[in-house]
Amino acid sequence: MKTTFLFITWLFIHFNETYQFDYRLVYENISVKNNTRKIQHFYTNSENNHFHAVTYNLEKDTMKFYFRDNNKMTIMLNLEGNYKSPGKVVIPDSLTTNWSGKNIAKEHYFFSKMNDTIIGEKKYTQIKLSSLNPKRAKRKKIGYEIYLVDTNIKMKPFFNEPLAFEVWREKKNFPDGLVVEKHYYSYDGKLSYSQVLKETSPVSFELIIKK
């Protein structure tokens, strides 16, 4: 009986993919252009940042769920459950979509360290993501992003945008820590979008992709 149980457990582990999340990060997305605000709940793993999930509250006990493994797949669907504490979610492999970041033009961008900034008597590291070629950026009207990072928090940096993640993966010149703010500026230096951290909390969330 014990042997049978161990064999079934082995099959489950080897023929399903399991993702563990230990943090819920609540960000407010602020669009300057559209004058709108939107709350998103991101789920991350503090030691492994190649995957994340995000939920949006649609109505009572229902959530829109998005997941991306930057190495292989994405998922987008509506689920029943508490969007603030999903617990365990099992999704069949047939609902996944292949994903690859290989075609993202990461070679045209880089992270650079700026002067630290102080907010409420607390110091944050500032990192800029921008084009390697300023003339090309101006010609193609490519903007840039500025990240504020709390490096006292021990975690891998979380990137919800594929370009930033791929640049980090290739160059690793972004510090570990918690991203507390992200600001996107247009090519002419005008702020168009901000993402501000509103809340962090530890969670125990497990996503299983059933083969």
The answer to whether residues 6 and 94 belong to one domain is: yes
Q: What total number of domains does the chain contain?
A: 2
**pLDDT 10s digits, 163-181:** 999 999 999 999 999 999 9
DSSP secondary structure of 152-179: TS-SPPP--SHHHHHHHHHH--S-SSEE
- CB-based burial of residue 195 (10 Å sphere; 0-12 exposed, 13-18 middle, 19+ buried)? buried
Q: How much of the chain exceeds pLDDT 90, in percent?
A: 73
The answer to whether residues 161 and 185 belong to one domain is: yes
Residue 56 φ/ψ, nearest 5 degrees: -125, 135
**pLDDT 10s digits, 80-99:** 877 777 889 999 999 999 99
The answer to whether residues 121 and 78 belong to one domain is: no
Structural domain boundaries enclosing 71: 2-31+38-98+201-210
For residue 58, the model assigns a pLDDT of: 66
The answer to whether residues 123 and 86 belong to one domain is: no
The answer to whether residues 155 and 84 belong to one domain is: no
pLDDT at 9 exceeding the cut of 50 = no
Give the global pTM: 0.88
Q: Which two tokens stand for residue 180?
A: 């507390």
